[in-house]
Structure 1
Amino acid sequence: MLPVVTDPAKLPMLFQDALNAGDIEGVLALFAPGAGMRTVTGEQITGTEALRAEIGGTVAARGKLTNVPRQALVGAQTALLVTDWTMEIDGPGGDRISPTGTTANIAHRDADGGWRFTLLNPLGIA
């Protein structure tokens, strides 16, 4: 079980480290119940099982994520986390590809004082 994350700016690096370790449950522990995300294909998914399938697919494709945090804006128990990313991953044809982008993520502080993602958007404003 992940310790309580008391600084929302740490979430992108914790996500990166858990994903790169192939720790699907560790990644899921960073999400609030009912959280969602927009996938890199533009589909919006919600809930633990959909997130597990998406993250599991990334792990199965040998995804290696590099996050570079850009800014963390915090107010009213909510944080906007803007992060530049590169994902090395096996492409559909078996070639290794390295898409890049900027994500705009939202996190919320829970009653226990810990921060968890509520919404991920790896496509940023695209």
Structure 2
Amino acid sequence: MSTLVITDPARLPILFQDALNAGDVDAVLALFAPDAGMRTVTGETVTGAEALRAEIGGTVAARGRLTNVQRHTLVGADTALLVTDWTMEIDGPAGARVAPTGTTANIARRSTDGGWRFTLLNPLGLA
């Protein structure tokens, strides 16, 4: 099985969007470094593969539909800051479809194979 090597960190938000919208939890998780973490939209911090799988799986189960618009990609050495505007259409707790929006500040790192992976996702941006 081959692993996709992402040579441009600016592609990560769109690859994340496409994999999530396809309901492919494994493809989303393949975009993360092994030791990655994220801050959820509720403000909780999760780290590690199983916690990320549960978080992404919950979004897929709620029929999440993500739209990402890349604002900035800043690269220094083997680290990138990705600032992205997002809208997430999702089934709310009462079953109604809701569409929260925000700006995320994510960090990616270049690995030894030259590919980029998310190390930290913060969909709440500066909030």
- For Structure 1 versus Structure 2, the TM-score category normalised by the shorter chain is over 0.9
The CA deviation at 1:98 is 0.1
Percent identity, please: 79
4+ residue runs over 3 A deviation: none
TM-score w.r.t. the length of structure 2 is 0.98
Alignment-derived partner of residue 104 in structure 2 = 103
- Per-residue CA distance 1:73-116 (angstroms, 9 max, x = gap): 00020000000000000000000000000000000000000000
Q: For structure 2, which runs of at least 5 residues remain unmatched after alignment?
A: none
**1:42-81 to 2 correspondences below 5 Å:** 42-81=43-82
Alignment-derived partner of residue 16 in structure 1 = 17
- Per-residue CA distance 1:3-23 (angstroms, 9 max, x = gap): 100000000000000000000
Alignment-derived partner of residue 36 in structure 2 = 35
Q: Distance in 1 between matches of 2:34 and 2:55?
A: 16
Preserved CA contact (<8 Å) 1:2 1:26: no
Q: 3-state SS of the aligned residue for 2:54?
A: helix
Q: For structure 1, which runs of at least 5 residues remain unmatched after alignment?
A: none
Q: Distance in 2 between matches of 1:70 and 1:94?
A: 31
TM-score w.r.t. the length of structure 1 is 0.99
Alignment-derived partner of residue 6 in structure 2 = 5
- Per-residue CA distance 1:13-56 (angstroms, 9 max, x = gap): 00000000000000000000110000000000000000000000
